[in-house]
Structure 1
């Protein structure tokens, strides 16, 4: 639910600090407050960063893809679920690593074209194209999810 209506409400001097935005009031009391939602995402994001750093440190000299994808930190990133998608996509845009298995496990989708399999840059491009087509960015995922 989105309201962009602003109401002009007369306030006393003490009341001028009160928010007169109806849309902000609705968002504050819609299920869980925005503060709690951002706090939860902030905690999850910090956890994601910690896991990503540990994963990359542990696999830096690893050439066996099985070991890369079975690393406990990588598995824990997958367990974060769809909340981690925008962060994974952001890292992938920077050329951040082998996120293809995690993306597939989280989304249940594999947009990599047959002819691109095994070619990192092409697989990366296929996933980024999929993300763009599906509006997969930080704002669309975080804003549309509700915390139960």
Structure 2
């Protein structure tokens, strides 16, 4: 369900929540703890409209966006052998984004 345009209020809310999440998790390494931070859960609650924003973040800097992407899309393109590997997981999601028209090729 790729989208073409993201409204300014959605973009601003995502940026605010993302900044809060990164601030609160910068010293965490446990994926469950990182993913259960309230601002991260609010990002998930924003739904499919923010998938392009999350993928853009992954392009800039691989990070623990995979739980959110799977929760929002119902997909998981990461191979079992790559689970826990942030770089490999990011690449799998970026490839998925291109194949599913979330990222312009």
TM-score, normalised with respect to structure 1: 0.64
Deviations 1:43-93 (A, max 9, x none): 011000000000000111112222100000000000000011000000000
Deviations 1:106-132 (A, max 9, x none): 000001012211211111111111001
Structure 1 segments (4+ residues) deviating >4 Å? none
Residue 96 of structure 1 and its aligned partner are, at CA, apart by 4.4
Counterparts in 2 of 1:51-70, with a 5 A limit? 51-70=17-36
Q: Distance in 1 between matches of 2:51 and 2:88?
A: 19
Structure exhibiting the larger radius of gyration computed from Cα positions: 1
Counterparts in 2 of 1:119-134, with a 5 A limit? 119-134=85-100
Q: Distance in 1 between matches of 2:87 and 2:25?
A: 19
1:84 to 36, 50, 66: 50
Partner of 1:98: 64
If asked which structure has higher relative contact order (CA below 8 Å, sep 6+), I would say 2
- For structure 2, which runs of at least 5 residues remain unmatched after alignment? none
SS at 1:93's partner residue? helix
SS at 2:24's partner residue? helix
1:71 to 31, 37, 48: 37
TM-score, normalised with respect to structure 2: 0.89
Q: Distance in 2 between matches of 1:54 and 1:72?
A: 9
Cα RMSD over matched residues?
1.5
